[in-house]
Amino acid sequence: MSAYRAKDPEGHIWTFGVTVQRMKPEQWDEASGLKTRMRLD
């Protein structure tokens, strides 16, 4: 996902994003070097 965040003159924060490529958690972990965890509480 590619994202952009901006603040308007009134101070509101806007976030815009687009999915570049859909990935499974395992693929994301391999590409990013991070570890995806599920929170089950």
Per-residue pLDDT reduced to its tens digit, 1-41: 688 999 999 999 999 998 888 989 899 899 889 898 887 77
Cβ neighbours around 4 below 10 Å, total: 9
pLDDT of residue 32: 86
Whole-number Å distance between alpha carbons of 38 and 19: 21
- Number of structural domains the chain divides into: 1
At residue 14, the 3 state secondary structure works out as strand
> How high is the pLDDT of residue 21?
87
Q: Is residue 41 part of a domain?
A: no
pLDDT of residue 38: 81
Q: What residue numbers bound the domain in which 21 lies?
A: 2-32
What pLDDT score was predicted for residue 4?
92
Q: What is the pLDDT of residue 1?
A: 66
Whether residue 38 is contained in a domain is answered as: no
